[in-house]
Amino acid sequence: MGLIRHFSILGAIALVLIVIEVPLELRAYSRGFQTFLFGWRGITPSTPVEGKEARSFGPSPSFPFWSEVVPEKLEAGETRYWITSASHAAETQLPLDLIFPVVLSDLCRERGQPCQVLSASAPGFTIPASAEQIETLASKYPPKVVIVYQMANDVIELARLVFSGASLETPPSKAEPGEKQALVSPRVLTHEFVDNMTAHQLLRTNLSNRVVAQRILHDELPEAARKVFITRLSHFIAVARKHGTEPVLCTFATSHRSDQIEQFPEAHRLKLFAFSRELSMPGWARTVDLLNAEIRVLAQTEDLRLIDVAEQISGRHELFRDFYHFTPEGHREVAMVLANALLGAP
């Protein structure tokens, strides 16, 4: 047993790491982030309004949607909209009543058209993950309309696959983007542990992204990957139709259009590079343009309703807190665009 003393330096290293990690975890927890040791304070469900009853929001084990809790059974005359998206509609940084699916349900009520809006979204979700979710939950909460607002995570995943030379046929997963190792070896508990350490998260968003900015980045997602994106979307449409719902496609909005991308702020660029490691900013802008064009064509081919969100709000920097996440004003604007398209102009 005396031998263990010789290995004590390993314990000392672990101790130093714990001493660094714990205060960082506390700081992150207090700021509303998910932490390894203290978990997550939870979403901020709503902005308190004096004299108004507090509203109840998911996600919870019994209600997996990032939106206002609603009964499974619809009231007479009520319409159920299902919004499938990623962190754009599943914000952890804002009170949920400011997020566009919830704002949309409020607008429906304001316009006298009772509806339920389910936000079937989660941070990191890709289109295949959304298709899986609709397969699982659509029978319990059958929607009339499914609105697809997805692009960023699929682009990140496909860019990673195509530029690493991996097969694009790799079954897509629900894993967070930016984790290459998930594609080559099964994720294990230790990986999860290290990934969830606040120190690691901080380094990823403050150091790795700066390294990524120094890489030779690509100016376009290759055609093969774009085809896979459209195949994913087509598959989602088929799944939605199988469940008797009407799929509605949306184009994807960004803070800067291709012709404005040179003015994209450096801080936001670095933030994006914490997850996206293959495309340059012009590459992102061009890819979004190309995919939006293909979404428009797909909507025509499949005879689907299209809500051209990009046309209406792309390039309005004040509506975005980074390249593709909205500010509260942005959420309100998107909700308006959706409401006008779904319910007709007020």
Partner 1 sequence: MNFNSPEYFFFLPITLVIYAMVFRREMLRDSWLLAISYFFYMSWNWKYASLILLSTVIDHYVGRAMHASNDPKHRKRLLILSMVSNLGLLAVFKYYNFFLEVGQVAAGPLGLDLAFLRHELLLPVGISFYTFQTMSYTLDIYRRELEPEPSFLKFSVFVSFFPQLVAGPIVRAADFLPQLRRTPEVTKERVHDGLRLVFQGLFKKIVVADLLAGLGVDAIFARPGDFSSIDLLFALYGYSFQIYCDFSGYSDIAIGTARIFGFELTKNFDRPYLAQNVREFWARWHISLSTWLRDYLYISLGGNRGTPRRTHFNLLMTMLLGGLWHGAAMNFVLWGAWHGLLLVFARGSTKFDTEAPAHVIVRRRLLTFHLVVVSWLLFRVTSMQNFLDYSSGLLRLSAGTQLSPMYYAVLGVGVVLHVIPQSTAAGWGHRWCALPAPVQAVVYAGCLLLFAGLSLGTPSFIYFQF
Q: How far is the CB of 185 from partner 1 (least distance, A)?
A: 8
- The CB density around residue 216, as the number of other CB atoms within 10 Å, is 6
List the alpha helices (DSSP H) in the chain: 8-30, 100-110, 127-137, 152-163, 181-184, 189-196, 198-203, 209-213, 223-242, 266-273, 281-301, 309-313, 328-343
Closest separation in Å from C-beta 123 to partner 1: 20
Q: Could you tell me the smallest distance in angstroms from the CB atom of residue 140 to partner 1?
A: 38
Q: How far is the CB of 184 from partner 1 (least distance, A)?
A: 7
Separation between Cα atoms, residue 100 and residue 27, nearest integer Å: 28
Task: Give the closest residue to 236 by CA, choosing from 86, 90, 126, 337.
Answer: 126
Residue 19 or 76: the one with the smaller Cβ distance to partner 1 is: 19
Q: Is the CB of 47 or the CB of 181 nearer to partner 1? A: 181
Identify which of residues 266 and 303 has a Cβ nearer to partner 1 in the complex.
266
Q: Are 26 and 38 in contact (CB under 8 A)?
A: yes
What's the min distance (Å) between Cβ of 212 and partner 1?
7
**CA atoms 174, 176, 181, 183: torsion sign:** positive
**Least Å from the CB of residue 15 to partner 1:** 7
Q: Is 176 exposed, middle or buried (0-12, 13-18, 19+ CB in 10 A)?
A: middle
Query: Which is nearer to partner 1, 49 or 207 (by Cβ)?
Result: 207
Count Cβ neighbours within 10 Å for each residue of 68-93 and write b for 16 or more, e otherwise.
bebeeebeeeebbbbbbbbbbbbbbe
H/E run at residue 185: none
- Rounded to the nearest whole angstrom, what is the least distance from the CB of residue 259 to partner 1 in the complex? 23
Of the pair 212, 228, the CB lying nearest partner 1 is at 212
Closer of 211 and 238 to partner 1 (Cβ): 211
- As a whole number of angstroms, the longest Cα–Cα distance in the chain is 80
Q: Which is nearer to partner 1, 40 or 193 (CB)?
A: 193
- State the nearest-atom distance from the C-beta of 201 to partner 1, in Å: 10
Closest distance to partner 1 from the beta carbon of 188 (Å)? 6
78 versus 176: smaller Cβ distance to partner 1: 176
77: CB partners within 8 A, 6+ apart: 114
- How many whole angstroms from its chain centre is CA 77? 31
Q: Which is nearer to partner 1, 13 or 297 (CB)?
A: 13
Q: Would you list the DSSP string of 46-106?
A: ----TTSPPP-B--BTTB-SSSB---SSPPTT-EEEEEE-STTSS-SSS-GGGSHHHHHHH
Binding positions for partner 1, rule: CB under 8 A: 1, 3-17, 20, 163, 165, 179-181, 184-185, 188, 190-191, 193-194, 199-200, 203-204, 206-208, 211-212, 214-216, 218, 277
Which H or E run contains 125? none
Q: Which two tokens stand for residue 141?
A: 């909460």
